[in-house]
Amino acid sequence: MAWSEILGQSFALRILRTHLSKERVAPAYLFAGPEGVGKRLAAFELAKALNCEQSDGLPAEASAQAGPCDRCASCSRILRRMHPDVHLVSPQGAIETIRIDEIRHILGRIALRPFMARAQVVILDGADRLTEEAANSLLKSLEEPPASARFILLTSQPSDCLPTIVSRCQTIRFQRLSTEMIQRLLVSQQLCAAEAAPSISRLAQGSLSRARRLAEEWPAYQQMTAHLGAEQAARWLEWAIPNDRQEQAQWLAGSIAWLRDVAVASASDDTLLAHADASSSIRRQAGELGRDRCVDAALQLIEVWGSLEQLVSPRLVGSLLREQWLELTQPAR
């Protein structure tokens, strides 16, 4: 792994390497950008660069130029995610939050002297998932971390992060990957059949991790869209809406992407459709439903999606979804 292997993020990486070469690495960064575009990889790469033993004694500029070696004890421990001074904190529990006890634990760790690192690094993946208490307990450390510590916060939802957190970090923006790049990676890494790569890359919306997930679930996804495009979309709902939380999230993501296409089809040509293979079904539904109903239904589904974590019963979510979808597929009044 090297900086050059993080694709499509030359702007963000240039800033980080400049900070390294000028020895001006910030105490706290916020890497903000869509899910699955390399934020976490870049965070671990920065942790390696800060600690690589090959750069001991080298001027900062030369070591930033060379990048971390990937071979020394420090790099190889970070690569294996087994470095005692590089900490990864991720959301936990059913509602996926980062709680105050986890932040206290990590602050306790970095208050001690490092085992082997020059810089202890805390990578906090999900800055938008910090509870308010947890965020408050972190503020002072973000501003004045212990001498050897650096924080790297990651988020795909910067607008959901507390302003007090954002203002204490230096924000680095990560971009969506291009459809062409995702298509190339899907094929070169043999993640899906070559003929599925164009469709999956269009649906991935710039996120390689989304593309990977879609590639894994591709037969099920195709089955679902075949149903969404069927003449009588309402009828298969009785069995098609899953009662399992994770499958519901996938169903919602697929349905929202589908509705977006139906709305787009009523206003433009097929080149903008993510489900280009199903353009004739999409055009037919666009004629039947109209753009406004599609947009309204998509917004309702997005709302259900947002509350998926809070609703205790997946069955309740299932019946809400059925209701929304039936309403949409009723003939226009």
Q: Which residues bind Zn ion (CB under 5 A)?
A: 52, 54, 68-69, 72, 75
| Least gap, CB of 303 to Zn ion (angstroms) | 47
* CB closer to Zn ion out of 52 and 211: 52
| Least gap, CB of 45 to Zn ion (angstroms) | 11
Give yes or no for a contact between 10 and 86, defined as CB atoms under 8 angstroms apart: no
* CB closer to Zn ion out of 114 and 126: 114
| Least gap, CB of 64 to Zn ion (angstroms) | 13
Q: Can you tell me the distance from the alpha carbon of 25 to that of 42, in angstroms, rounded to the nearest whole number?
A: 14
* CB closer to Zn ion out of 73 and 95: 73
| Least gap, CB of 78 to Zn ion (angstroms) | 8
| Least gap, CB of 216 to Zn ion (angstroms) | 33
* CB closer to Zn ion out of 56 and 309: 56
* CB closer to Zn ion out of 7 and 72: 72
| Least gap, CB of 124 to Zn ion (angstroms) | 23
* CB closer to Zn ion out of 77 and 260: 77
